[in-house]
Amino acid sequence: MKVLIADDEMHIRNGLRTGIDWESLGIDMVLTAEDGREAHLVCQKERPEIIITDIRMPGMDGLELTGQAGRSLGAKKVIILSGYSEFEYAKKAIGLGVVDYLLKPVNIRELSELVEKCAADIREEERREGLTRQEKIRDILDKKLPAEEIRNILYRKGGEILCPPEIAVGAVSLDKSYGRYIQGYEKVRGDVPGSRTVYLAEADEVLVYMAEIRTREERSGYYAEFAGLLNAVNRKLAGMGSCSMGVSGRGAVTDIPQLFEQAKKALAHRMYLGDGSCIYFDMARLNQEKMYPFLQFDRRRARESVEMLRIDQLRELISVHFDEMKRMKCTDVKAAQELCVTIKNVVFDVMREKGVDIAGILDSNQELFQSQMEYTSLDGYEAWICDYCDLLLRGLKDLSGKCYSAVISKAVDYMNQHYGEDITLKSLAEKVNKSASYFSCIFKKEMGVNFNEYLNQVRIKNAMEMLRLPDVVIYEVAEKTGFHDYKYFTKVFRKLCGCSPTEYINHKK
């Protein structure tokens, strides 16, 4: 946020500029001007949100500056500085919408409090304006507004409407594969630094961005612009998941509803292209063929695989079918879901015939079996149904989890060696080549506790060893054992050891 100090007395300008801790008030830049005309030029170039101005200045007085800057130059709050003899001017200033006036000599504390209040009011006004603008943009995307209103909402600046010759629209959506779906877009919503694309709104479960195309270079380079935007968004997720993007063709600002539909149609192609894709409408061949993959699924061969307990053979059969769906560029979510249900039912039928306690198996692996079968790519559906069948067939063999010892042994060894690092369920599952939901199920089944509980046990065990050393510093032990929150370290330590780290050290002395 910017503030402009306009006063023809240098000692007042410099005193205010250096005598106030502007950063603590939420001010990023302090500008100065020695008269009204210079102040007007600064407002034209920098557009400060807050103006602090003397009433009497050469060239243009504070009241005229207030009127012009507030009408067309973006100033949102104005504070007038005046002497006792100018009280009538101050009353007139209030009529122009000035926030307040202060009598000279200025009280620094009083001015600081007033600026802080102005900054807070501006942020709240911008928040409300942003919500109102997003509601209007959603109306645009829903085709509820006429063309002139679209131009007015998106591109009215002052008294003019300055639309670019063309625009393109990008629809960004969080990926749901492998059950790792972030509820909400708080992490990635909004403008991305360094990108020329503009964030518009959240609509139809996607984040909508717009790229302005004003030059020949931008027309040929807008694909790369959106690809860069997607990379930046995925970096903001910091390993918590991924996003995909559909990008429209080019069109006029008034075509934005149609461009939005193109972007969403392009996004649907991540089903076969995979998560993390940036897909362009002009390049995506829309597949109009209705698919019923479950009708072509080889049930007989699948039954044989289940009856013979040939897990690898069933996985291969599933993989072949999903590969065929990718080759046919399937974008139909229901087709993938129906195929998964068909495969699951084949396995259930064989297990019922053999008198297996299906309910017991499902109950002991609830995390995977009760997860929603809603993914954004064929890879996600394939991984889910393979893990599902894997657990069912292992239950059919009644191996009671012993077959997972190699996987869990590798995971436990890694935790014992790297307990001081950031280890997540997802990252460890990737180390042992399993999906997170599947790995979570088999870990708890064999170890008797969930992943987080066991990791805390390993960390606290090593913390106890370190706390036995002389001249130990507790918060350093917490950091070395992977606890970046000291309070959480103390809480877990007390839970597992029955005392605080300090009490543990004193007891050992």
* DSSP character string of 184-230: SSTTT-S--TT-S-EEEEEETTEEEEEEEE-SHHHHHHHHHHHHHHH
- Per the model's pLDDT, the better-predicted residue between 111 and 446 turns out to be 111
Mean pLDDT of the region 291-296: 61
Q: Output the pLDDT for position 132.
A: 73
**Sorting pLDDT into bands at 50, 70 and 90, what band is 54?**
confident
Buried b / exposed e along 339-376 (16+ C-beta atoms within 10 A): bbebbbebbeebbeeeebeeeebbebbeebbeeebebb
Going by the DSSP 8-state scheme, the letter that residue 471 receives in this structure is T
Query: Is 408 within 8 Å of 303 (Cβ atoms)?
Result: no
Structure tokens at 428: 């460890």
Structure tokens at 189: 């919503």
| One-letter amino acid for residue 179 of the chain | G
Query: Is 40 within 8 Å of 69 (Cβ atoms)?
Result: yes
Of 67-71, 409-413, 475-479, 505-509, which range is least confident?
Answer: 67-71
The gap from C-alpha 388 to its chain's centroid, in whole angstroms, comes to 30
Share of the chain above pLDDT 90, in %: 19
| One-letter amino acid for residue 102 of the chain | L
Q: Output the pLDDT for position 261.
A: 94
- Checking if the pLDDT of 507 tops 60, the result is yes
d(CA 194, CA 184): 23
- Checking if the pLDDT of 170 tops 90, the result is yes
Beta strand spans in 104-159 (E): 156-157
- Checking if the pLDDT of 35 tops 50, the result is yes
Q: Output the pLDDT for position 369.
A: 58
Cis preceding-peptide flag for 48 (omega within 30 of 0) = no
* DSSP character string of 363-426: HHTHHHHTS----SSHHHHHHHHHHHHHHHHHHHHT-TTGGGHHHHHHHHHHHHHHTTS---HH
> Which of 87, 146, 76 has its CA nearest to residue 115?
76
- Checking if the pLDDT of 385 tops 80, the result is yes
- Per the model's pLDDT, the better-predicted residue between 356 and 204 turns out to be 204
pLDDT tens figures, 66-99: 766 665 566 788 888 876 555 566 556 555 555 6
2-124 in CATH: which number?
3.40.50.2300
Structure tokens at 8: 């023809």
The gap from C-alpha 395 to its chain's centroid, in whole angstroms, comes to 39
- Per the model's pLDDT, the better-predicted residue between 308 and 386 turns out to be 386
pLDDT tens figures, 227-250: 999 998 888 887 677 899 999 999
Q: Which residues contact 6 (CB under 8 A, 6 or more apart)?
A: 32, 33, 34, 35, 36, 38, 39, 51, 52, 53, 54, 57, 62, 65
Mean pLDDT of the region 295-324: 84
Q: Output the pLDDT for position 72.
A: 59
Of 47-51, 162-166, 354-358, which range is least confident?
Answer: 354-358
- Per the model's pLDDT, the better-predicted residue between 48 and 261 turns out to be 261
Q: Output the pLDDT for position 34.
A: 85
Q: Which residues contact 308 (CB under 8 A, 6 or more apart)?
A: none
The CATH number, out of the four listed (3.40.50.1000, 3.40.50.920, 3.10.20.340, 1.10.10.60), of the domain defined by the range 405-508:
1.10.10.60
Host H or E run for residue 131 = helix 108-141
DSSP helix/strand/coil, 135: helix
The distance between the two most distant Cα atoms of the chain, rounded to a whole number of Å, is 101
Q: Output the pLDDT for position 508.
A: 62
| One-letter amino acid for residue 395 of the chain | G
Q: Quick one: how many helices (H) and strands (E) in the chain?
A: 23, 12
Query: Is 195 within 8 Å of 232 (Cβ atoms)?
Result: yes
128 C-beta neighbours (distance < 10 Å), count: 10
**Parallel, antiparallel, or unpaired: how do β-strands 100-103 and 156-157 relate?**
unpaired
- Checking if the pLDDT of 287 tops 70, the result is no
Backbone φ/ψ region at 70: left (φ over 0), alpha (ψ -120 to 50), beta = alpha
Query: pTM to 2 decimals?
Result: 0.59
What residues does each domain of the chain span? Answer: 2-124, 155-280, 293-398, 405-508
* DSSP character string of 32-94: EESSHHHHHHHHHHH--SEEEEES--SSS-HHHHHHHHHHHS---EEEEEE-GGGHHHHHHHH
- CATH fold group of domain 155-280: Alpha-Beta Plaits (3.30.70)
Mean pLDDT across the chain, nearest whole number?
81
- Per the model's pLDDT, the better-predicted residue between 107 and 458 turns out to be 458
DSSP helix/strand/coil, 169: strand
Mean pLDDT of the region 342-358: 79
- Checking if the pLDDT of 153 tops 80, the result is no
> Which of 51, 37, 42, 44 has its CA nearest to residue 1?
51
**Sorting pLDDT into bands at 50, 70 and 90, what band is 477?**
very high
Q: Which residues contact 26 (CB under 8 A, 6 or more apart)?
A: 1, 116, 119, 120, 123
Task: Report the residue count for the chain.
Answer: 509
The gap from C-alpha 211 to its chain's centroid, in whole angstroms, comes to 20
Q: Output the pLDDT for position 271.
A: 92
Query: Is 269 within 8 Å of 247 (Cβ atoms)?
Result: no
Q: Output the pLDDT for position 400.
A: 36
Q: Output the pLDDT for position 416.
A: 86
- Checking if the pLDDT of 368 tops 80, the result is no
- Per the model's pLDDT, the better-predicted residue between 351 and 172 turns out to be 172
pLDDT tens figures, 120-152: 888 888 777 766 777 888 888 888 888 778 887
Q: Output the pLDDT for position 157.
A: 62
- Checking if the pLDDT of 288 tops 60, the result is no
